[in-house]
Structure 1
Amino acid sequence: MQDHFNFCQHIFGSNLSKIYENVGLTILSFDDSKGDSYQVKLCAGGSREGSLGLQLKDAQNRTIYSLSCHVSTRPKTIFYIGSVQGPSDDIEDRNDVIKLLTRSVHGLRTKALMLEVALMLAKILGVDEVHGISNKAHIYQALRYVGSKRKSVTFDYNDLWEEYGAEVLNKYFYKIPLHPLRKDPTTLKKTKRRLYVKRYQWLEDSEQAVMKSLCALSTNLDFIAHLTSMIKIEEPHIEDAQGNTAKVTTSINVSVTPNMVKKDIIKMSTKVA
């Protein structure tokens, strides 16, 4: 537990308390195909599954999906995922919400979306490995939980991790690739090809958005300088000889001094929701 908070304190400094207060801080925002907004919040995790959490909230502030995680730094930095949970029975239209969300992010299922954001977070934080809990190891499978608590866990963790090419470490954990393999769109049928190209572009754009949010939230100058070197900027559309236009995206590649970063912290911190 102390490792986790020391690690987070090193990255977020005085802003760490904002993550654990109230409903947390928004690190990703997007709209569904109907124009309704969603936010992924970085917040406190479940009481037993992890100290840090990600919550997908809709425009009505309902929690559609959540994920709890934890960071351990000894002997190496490992990002543990302790739970993934879908919408509660209180959300009567939950099936319709999930279907609409899946269509809106180009066929990416919502549970996979949460894992993708968790992997983005893990990569940006610079962890060495990501470990996901197995079905057998979930906290509510412990002997002290019987009846409704044990039966309440219906999520198939093993199945999701294996879809992402995870390696079984032992009966308790899977090792999930930080950079999961992507399908080569050129090998797919035309309809599928367009879907996957859009999905992967959406994920790339989302990772950039998460990176910018964490850059604004961090008070660690080295961390901010590192992220700044990876954040991409959009340049004007370029027109070729045939009159076709294309949006060009390049990485920022500048030298960042501590004084420059201090000024940017003040500017960026005001943009964090």
Structure 2
Amino acid sequence: MYLQNETNGAMVKSLNWRGLWAAGRVLLPLANKRQPAAVGLMSSLRWALQLRLGDEHSNLKSKCLFLLRSGMQPGVSLRWYHYLHQTYLRKAIPADLSLFDAVHRPFFDRQICSASRLRLLRNHFHLSAQLLGQQRAREVLAGKTLELARLQGKNQEDYRISLFRSCAFKREGGLSLGLFQDGRLLQCLSFSFDHKDRQLILRVGGLQSCKQDARAAIRACTKSLHGIQPRLLLIEALRSLARALHCADIECIAKKNHIYQSWRYRFSKTIRAEYDGLWQSAGAQAQANGNYSLPMDSEDTPLSERPSNKRSEYRARDILTTAMRDGIRQNLAMV
């Protein structure tokens, strides 16, 4: 029984489920090396192996990679499985086994190491439960959206701003803030909660648009929202969310630091969004790590300084964004 080189397919020769389970047992002694809670770690590891390797919907290759990556990063893996086992996430695991693999894959920023990734993941899920409540945090993990604001377009189109979690964006952030029209996602920002200098911050790891007819949908939405681009509206919604939660900073990913720029995805993923230009247009400043710090408040030009033939449109924009800010503040106060 042996593993072939990962670059040649990471396939396993003559290895069935029982073989995988036996291979996973080699990780158990690692939990017993100078760990203060060795019994709890071993219990969590057994639980993780039983669920992840026993999943009928996962193929043999993914199970082998799970074992391989766990063995290559034993300390980080054990602490992550223990965290999943001991928190409210335990009930969410059966519906989303990919949570086990989260600590092994790039998350938010391709530069951060596995220990930093573990810390960010734990902080995000812990803060999600604190800020949203365990019940709502669990519901969002299960696929439920949390509506924050409703907006109405020029021709009575119905839009809403909602928090949700999607498997498609889970590597860019633990949550997504999306703009929906009639249940269809038009665009979203993916972010995570984190701590910095004992203060709450948001880390934005991605911007995504709908897959089908994206340009036409975004163009129509912009026209309906009095000329406000959906991505700029989402940035303003994110600022409103951050202010309502008393965040100290919003860190936005630079294109060069995006997870899909890592070697793992270099030939399989393409980044179309111009992240740097987007953050800069919103007033963000570059940081030492290459990412951008987005100010909490936007710079609003007084209506009197706008072109006279455009003032009615800008007045409509102000009404719409004010309604959105009020809705976000009121809905978060009820959480």
What TM-score comes out, normalization by structure 1 length?
0.72
Q: Which residue of 2 aligns with 1:22?
A: 143
Q: How does 1:46-125 map to 2 (within 5 A)?
A: 46-59=169-182, 61-75=183-197, 76-88=199-211, 91-92=212-213, 94-125=214-245
Paired AA for residue 68 in structure 1? S
Task: State how far apart, in whole Å, the 1-side matches of 2:179 and 2:144 are.
Answer: 11
Structure with larger RCO (C-alpha < 8 A, sep 6+): 1
Q: Which of the two has higher C-alpha Rg?
A: 2
Distance in structure 2 (CA, Å) of the matches to 1:100 and 1:191: 22
The residue identity in structure 1 corresponding to 2:240 is: M
Cross-structure match for 2:319? 201
The alpha carbon displacement at 1:117 in A equals 1.1
CA contact (8 A) 1:136 1:171 kept: no
- Letter aligned with residue 168 of structure 1: A
Contact preservation (8 Å) 1:32, 1:100: no
Shift of 1:26: 1.4
Residue of structure 2 aligned with 1:137, choices 245, 253, 257: 257
Q: For 1:73, what is the secondary structure of its paired residue?
A: strand
User: Root-mean-square deviation (CA), in Å?
Assistant: 1.7
Quote the Cα distance in structure 2 between the aligned partners of 1:213 and 1:20. Answer: 19
Gaps of 5+ in 1: 219-273
- Give how far 1:70 is off: 0.7
Tell me if the contact between 1:23 and 1:41 (Cα under 8 Å) persists in the aligned partners: no
What TM-score do the two structures reach when normalised by structure 2?
A: 0.60
2:137 equivalent to 1:4: no
Higher strand share: 1
- For 2:162 and 2:247, how far apart are their aligned partners in 1? 20
For residues 220-240 of structure 1, the C-alpha deviation after alignment (integer angstroms, 9 at most, x for no partner) is xxxxxxxxxxxxxxxxxxxxx
Q: Is the 8 A contact 2:150 2:159 kept in 1?
A: yes
State the secondary structure of the residue aligned to 1:178. Answer: coil
Runs of 5+ consecutive residues of structure 2 not aligned to the other structure = 1-120
**Which residue among 160, 170, 194 is the counterpart of 1:39?**
160
String of CA shifts for 1:192-246, please: whole Å, max 9, x gaps: 2222222122111111111122122x2xxxxxxxxxxxxxxxxxxxxxxxxxxxx
Structure richer in helix, relative to its length? 2
Flag as ranges the 4+ runs of structure 1 deviating above 4 A: none
Shift of 1:171: 4.6
Q: Identity rate of aligned residues, in percent?
A: 24
Partner of residue 291, structure 2: 173
Partner of residue 230, structure 1 = none
CA deviations on 1:147-181 (whole Å, 9 max, x unpaired) are 231xx211001111111111100353101111021
Size of the aligned set, in residue pairs, is: 211
